[in-house]
Amino acid sequence: MSITSTSKPRFNFNYLNVYGLVLPIVFIVLWAIASKLNWVNPKLIPAPFEVVQIAIHQFQQQEFWTGLGASLFRDLTGFVIGSILAIIFGIAVGVSRWANYLFLPSFNVLRQISLFAWLPLITTFLDYGNSAKILFIVLSVFYPVALHTIDGVRQIPLHQYEVAKVYQFNAWQTLSKLILPAAASQIFLGLQLGLIFAWVATIGAEFLLANYGVGLGNIVIRGRAALDVGLIVFGLIVIGFIGVAWKSLANLTERRILVWRR
């Protein structure tokens, strides 16, 4: 007796994404009406059309694309370095009892320190240059990725390690065939949070460690210095859209890599 699947095809289109556009559209419409009827001061709150004009002008400037490239470079560099160090640290602490005793107490103390409290020490040694910004991003990524990696490794049942011993796995086989696959979900959750924190730290570093360099944060700084609210709004919108794009890319990557779990 054969069983025929009668399940309907699944659509990837998420209607919640459409509903999520309602609030921004309503906000823009009300914003345009308030500007048209002079309910707001145009010097403080420019009309949406003016922001669009500023966006078109900025997209035509080489300075904007140079700044975008600089911000993305800092973001990715800090994220990659911080993630690699955090995963190595998390696996070591999660697997080794000695590493747990030696490093975890110090880690728990250091992660209670606000990231912004590290800035005076970072700038003392690295000044306000690119290296200081990247180190700040590395620190912001390290903690969430390390915590989720430790949790993922510790959730692996002991009997799975016993099976690995029965099959006489060496250290590399235990890592690649047991630890990483079993802890993959938690590691990717940490990486997603790390990616978000990295982008927030990138813009924060460009604000707090401003040295008149290039970056998306400098667009907002220039807008503030010139009292150009339209330029500030444009910078915030670009920063927000890039953050959403990173989040979507992280979700897509996780689904592709962890497809075997389904």
What are the extents of the domains in the chain?
A: 44-257
Helix or strand (DSSP H, E) at 195: helix 184-208
Round to whole Å and give the CA distance between 143 and 194: 8
Q: What pLDDT is attached to residue 258?
A: 72
DSSP assignment, residue 21? T
- Residue 137's Cβ-count burial label (10 Å; 0-12, 13-18, 19+) is buried
Task: Determine the straight-line distance between the first and last CA of the chain, rounded to whole angstroms.
Answer: 26
Q: Which residues of the chain have pLDDT under 70?
A: 1-17, 211-213, 259-262
Q: Which CATH class is domain 44-257?
A: mainly alpha
Q: What pLDDT is attached to residue 211?
A: 65
- In the block, which residue shows the tokens 């419409």? 29
Q: What is the pTM of this model?
A: 0.83
Q: What pLDDT is attached to residue 137?
A: 95
Q: Which residues contact 131 (CB under 8 A, 6 or more apart)?
A: none
